[in-house]
Amino acid sequence: MKVAIVIDSVFRGGAERQALYTARGLAGLGCDVELIYYARCAWEYDLSLAGDARVAYLPKAGRPLRFLRRLRRHLERGAFSVVHSYKNTPCLYGGLAAWRAGVPVILGGLRVEYDDRGLVRLGHRLIQRVQAGWVVNSEAVAASVVRELGADRDRCFVVRNAIDPSQFRSSLTRAEAKAKLGVDPDAPTVSILAGFRPQKNHALFLDAAQRVLGTHPDARFLVLGDGPERSGIEARIAELGLADRVRMLGFRSDVADCLAATDVSVLTSDYEGVSNSLMESMSAGVPVVSTRYPGADELITDGQDGLLVPRGDARTLADRLCKLLGDPAERERLGRSGQRTLEERYGIGVMAAALLAVYEDRLQQTTGGRPT
């Protein structure tokens, strides 16, 4: 089966990592796979994450109509059976180009609860008429697509995110990893791995950090990531007087070492799909505390393999953190349980097999099983 994965970039983000894993996993199952992206940026992933899949860069360069024609011709020449686009805007480009190229199976991939408005929403409503369906990563995202776009639930296919545990194993001890980051080896360390975007709600993380310091004054807080909200986050750190307690680490190529330095990993999002940062932390055996955004309980069973707190509740978040920081045995238990959950349910092979089943089903429905 020839499959094209279309995405805007290979920027170091969660959806981009999943697209690369998708290409890698499907190629490992014998599919002829090409990942196509159209924008270059700083902090790109190593393309070896795509494994044996091909990777093609087709520049859009601010000329969307010319890019659509180029992408359509590329898909025609490739004679693809399936085009699966990742993320909201690529769904429009990939879907329209694939339709014009006569690709039998067109799928849109959405990664978070649907909230687009205006022309993008209109575009999605129109493009789904020629799609074979939507691929989403949680039941919560599926429900939002049905609610917001009027999609048929039977054509929303839930395929969980995947992770490669080897990417998040460090050779450093916790003390060595903390020392590498300039943190006292004895200091309790809490981290957040999230792009600096409004829905990640870093302000909640910082408000909770201030409360935690009342009980654990030696605690340190690591903020990994970057993005458009950076200035606001820095201003909030200064306002709360946390400059000497919070380390802004930016984008890192050594995430495994940063996780090795972490006693508890936190996610404070107002909405997500299935969070890659939570999966990365769990894969590394780091206990996690997350806001209970819709879909969070599809990854975490509260009290079993992580902890969930109400969205926007700094007091409860801080209380949970204080208890964990004061209980090494409980941190160890949650970390090991989370690691087992990831190993059992979120392997790249598991995800790729589920996707291939969707592709084969849609191809059967579209072509009656005839070769394409």
98 or 41, which is more confident?
98
Supply the CATH classification number for the domain 165-345. 3.40.50.2000
Give φ, ψ of 40 to 5 degrees. -100, 150
Residue 13: band (very low, low, confident or very high) from pLDDT cuts 50, 70, 90: confident
pLDDT in tens, 135-168: 999 999 999 999 999 999 999 999 999 999 888 9
Computed over every residue of the chain, the mean pLDDT equals: 94
* Domains of the chain, residue spans: 2-162+347-367, 165-345
CATH topology of domain 2-162+347-367: Rossmann fold (3.40.50)
Answer for the pair 168, 280: CB distance below 8 angstroms, yes or no.
Answer: yes
Distance CA 170, CA 321 (A): 24
- pLDDT of 97 > 90? The answer is yes
Fold match, 2-162+347-367 / 165-345: yes
Dig out the tokens for 72 from the structure: 């359509």
pLDDT for the residue 368:
63
Q: Are strands 246-250 and 264-267 parallel, antiparallel or unpaired?
A: unpaired
Distance CA 106, CA 127 (A): 10
β-sheet bridge partners, residue 133: 107
Number of residues that make up the chain: 372
Rg of the Cα atoms in the chain: 21
Neighbour-count burial of 16, counting CB atoms closer than 10 A to its CB (0-12 exposed, 13-18 middle, 19+ buried): buried
Please give the biggest Cα pair distance in the chain: 67
What is the model's pTM?
A: 0.80
Of the listed ranges 36-40, 224-228, 264-268, the one predicted with least confidence: 224-228
Residue of 228, 221, 232 whose CA lies nearest to 188: 221
Handedness of CA 92, 94, 100, 102 (dihedral sign): negative
Q: CA geometry: angle at 67 spanning 27 and 360, to 5°?
A: 30
pLDDT for the residue 366:
81
Dig out the tokens for 366 from the structure: 């579209």
pLDDT in tens, 336-364: 999 999 988 899 999 999 999 999 999 99
Answer for the pair 21, 348: CB distance below 8 angstroms, yes or no.
Answer: yes
Residue 294: band (very low, low, confident or very high) from pLDDT cuts 50, 70, 90: confident
pLDDT for the residue 370:
45
pLDDT in tens, 25-38: 999 999 999 999 99
